[in-house]
């Protein structure tokens, strides 16, 4: 009986160490947690990067018109982990909505390049065009 208990405990410990290692590997680099492509080819992505500190994750939004430069919008620099978000394209309103936990937190209108941050825990923000432009050659694939 004692040997069985030791084997069970050892199995649990091995499982927990493996799970922790997989999670660390998963969050090690920037991750695209939501992505959508509008009918006109405009791409919109939400990317989360681990900060390795007390401010756990930085979450940013990026977009680009077909063949254009990537633009950046702020989402949060003290964010919690996103398993994944959901992006919904509304062709009639010409808007991409980003959902987190079932709630819209971002609305991006691709024709006017209007970005609205709609988080309930943060003051609403609105920008027309990017807050910052990424350098030429920068790509989400690098993230």
Q: Of the candidates 16, 69, 75, which has an alpha carbon nearest to the alpha carbon of residue 49?
A: 75
pLDDT tens per residue across all 143 residues of the chain: 687 777 666 566 566 554 444 555 445 567 899 999 999 999 999 999 988 767 789 999 999 999 899 999 999 988 888 888 999 999 999 999 999 999 999 999 999 999 999 988 888 899 999 999 999 888 876 44
- DSSP per-residue letters across 94-114: TEEEEEETTEEEEEEETTTTE
pTM across the whole model: 0.79
- CB 111 within 8 Å of CB 120: no
The reported pLDDT for the residue numbered 50 is: 86
The reported pLDDT for the residue numbered 23 is: 53
Domain boundaries, the chain: 32-142
The reported pLDDT for the residue numbered 55 is: 74
């Amino acid at each position: 009986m004692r040997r069985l208990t030791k084997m069970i405990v050892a199995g649990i410990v091995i499982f927990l160490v493996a799970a922790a290692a997989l999670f660390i590997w998963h969050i090690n680099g920037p991750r695209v947690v939501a992505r959508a492509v509008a009918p006109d080819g405009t791409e919109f992505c939400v990317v989360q990067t681990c900060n390795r500190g007390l401010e756990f994750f930085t979450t940013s939004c990026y977009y680009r018109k077909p063949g254009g430069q990537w633009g950046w919008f702020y989402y949060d620099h003290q964010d919690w982990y996103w398993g994944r978000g959901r992006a919904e394209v509304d062709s009639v309103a010409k808007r991409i909505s980003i959902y987190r936990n079932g709630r819209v937190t971002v609305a991006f209108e691709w024709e006017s390049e209007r970005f609205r941050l709609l988080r309930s825990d943060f003051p609403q923000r609105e920008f027309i065009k990017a807050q910052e432009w990424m350098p030429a050659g920068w790509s989400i694939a690098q993230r």
